[in-house]
Chain A
Amino acid sequence: MLNQGTMTLIDLANPTRFLALTARVLPWLAGATVILLAIGLYQAALAPDDYQQGATVKIMFIHVPNAWLSMFVWGVMSLASLGTLVWRHPLADVAAKAAAPIGAAFTFLALVTGSLWGRPMWGTYWEWDARLTSVLILFLMYLGLIALWRAVEDPSRAARAAAVLTLVGAINLPIIKFSVDWWNTLHQPASVVRMGGSTLDRSFLIPLLVMAIGFTLLFLTLHLAAMRNEILRRRVRSLQMMQASRQAA
């Protein structure tokens, strides 16, 4: 019994340092996020309306960072999966598991803002536009990954399966993107206005860049906080297991 207890403590040595470090970093990161997002939103509000799309173009300032993060988070998870499979780093699967719901949330926001942006152009909330359709498939893959994490109670057992799935997904994403583009042009020759197709004016580019960095910092903040939660959740779990194996006095 005592042996098992010390084992667990050694296993958590690395995460313990991580918890201490992030406790100091997190407030600064959150502050920087708030400041950048505030500046970005202010600049976005000042940016001129588009001569074609009017004020709706400003949805772009939310949509594009979310779309960027939907892919960036999968990249982070892929790196973490390599960490799980190749280097067996104890924090890798914590990072991968914590990132999945956040990535799904950003992807969902990209879908919603994309559909709101397209509404005046299309006249409907949803059009099977090549870009949005690819994002939708990415969203399904995120949900599948979350379902996989939830299907197995023991996180270390789920980690390897999730890591394999994440890497396969990373390899497949370009293929899916290409197929969807091909499918889309096959069915409708390019006639509708495509989003973000035209070159961007400087007055758009700078706020967009600020927003993108702000959202990336937001992701980092949320991710670190979620990793802390996951580490604590696993500690609770191992404490519970120790308590269960204790015989009643």
Chain B
Amino acid sequence: MSALAALIRRDIRIALRVGGGALIGVLFFLTVVVLMPFAVGPDLALLTRLGPAILWLGALLASLLTLDRLFMADQEDGSLDLITMSRTPLELACAAKALAHWLAAGVPLIVATPVLGLLLNLDMLATAAVALTLLAGTPALTFTGMIGAALAVTLHRGGLLMAVLVLPLSIPVLIFGVAASQAAITGPLSFGAPFSILCALSLVSFVIGPLAAAASLRHGLD
């Protein structure tokens, strides 16, 4: 347990120090959301209607793009060898790294949501709904995205290949995340059903993500 705590502490520290990428994710999120009105026009009624979808797309892209180097940095400097050899099961180490990444890069996205909601003319209820669905859904994005990050290490390719691998996997999260926020804002569907499914997706990803990532890291050892 203390081994995992040490790993989480280290990854968060690195993310927040000079050269770490935690806050760049938020900046990317902000930029994507600001771009949207230039494409669809400044009509506030339209932006209100599209708001949850825009915020979800922005958060999806921001959290996946920052995942790119989740394992890559450790592989390049040899840390991954020692993590693999250690007495901590690789699955748990992967889960700890993903959790640290979510805390350093995912939570800031949720914190930024109310500010961005203001730009898209979302009211209090809608902003709260989007923030709540992001809180339930972004862990699923991180934990499925880590599979792509692990594959990127194995294949020695990062960036776009990883995005192409992972984006299709995140479609269910996007569907239920946007559906739950829309349900809270306009109805007529109840908020509970899609939100429960969103939570379920996150829970499933907590199991599948670390297992698949650890398996692909083990097979990619070189």
Contact = CB atoms under 8 A, between A and B. Distances in A.
A87 interface: no
B119 A184 contact: no
Interface size class of B (residues with CB under 8 A): 10 to 19
Interface in A45-60: none
Interface in B1-37: 18-19, 23-24, 27, 30-31, 34, 37
Contact of A187 (B23, B27, B42, B118): B42
Given A152-B19, A153-B19, A127 B31 contact: no
B31 A147 contact: no
Contact of B118 (A125, A133, A140, A147): A125
B62 to A, nearest CB: 13
A144 B28 CA distance: 9
Given A125-B118, A147-B23, A153 B34 contact: no
Contacts of B121: 124, 126
A11 B31 CA distance: 39
B118 A126 contact: yes
A155 to B, nearest CB: 10
Given A126-B118, A140-B31, A187 B19 contact: no
Contacts, number: 45
B30 A140 contact: yes
Interface in B40-69: 41-44, 47
Contacts of B34: 136-137, 140
Nearest to B24: A147
B126 to A, nearest CB: 13
B42 A188 contact: yes
Chain B binding surface, main DSSP class: helix
A28 interface: no
A150 B42 contact: no
A142 to B, nearest CB: 10
A143 interface: yes
B119 A126 contact: yes
Interface in B123-176: none
Interface in A99-158: 115, 124-128, 133, 136-137, 140, 143-144, 147, 150-153
Contacts of B37: 128
B21 to A, nearest CB: 8
Contacts of A133: 42
A183 interface: yes
B19 A143 contact: no
Interface in B90-125: 118-119, 121
A187 B31 CA distance: 21
A179 to B, nearest CB: 9
A153 B41 CA distance: 40
A150 B18 contact: yes
Contacts of B118: 115, 125-126
Contacts of A184: 42
Nearest to B120: A126
Nearest to B27: A143
Given A124-B44, A150-B19, A183 B31 contact: no
Contacts of B47: 128
B31 to A, nearest CB: 6
A153 B34 CA distance: 29
Contacts of A188: 42-43
Interface of B: 18-19, 23-24, 27, 30-31, 34, 37-38, 41-44, 47, 118-119, 121
22 contacts: A124-B44, A125-B118, A126-B119, A126-B121, A127-B44, A128-B37, A128-B44, A140-B27, A140-B31, A143-B27, A143-B30, A144-B27, A147-B24, A150-B19, A151-B18, A151-B24, A153-B19, A183-B38, A184-B42, A187-B41, A187-B42, A188-B43
Closest 3 pairs between A and B when the two form their complex, measured CB to CB: A128-B42, A187-B41, A187-B42
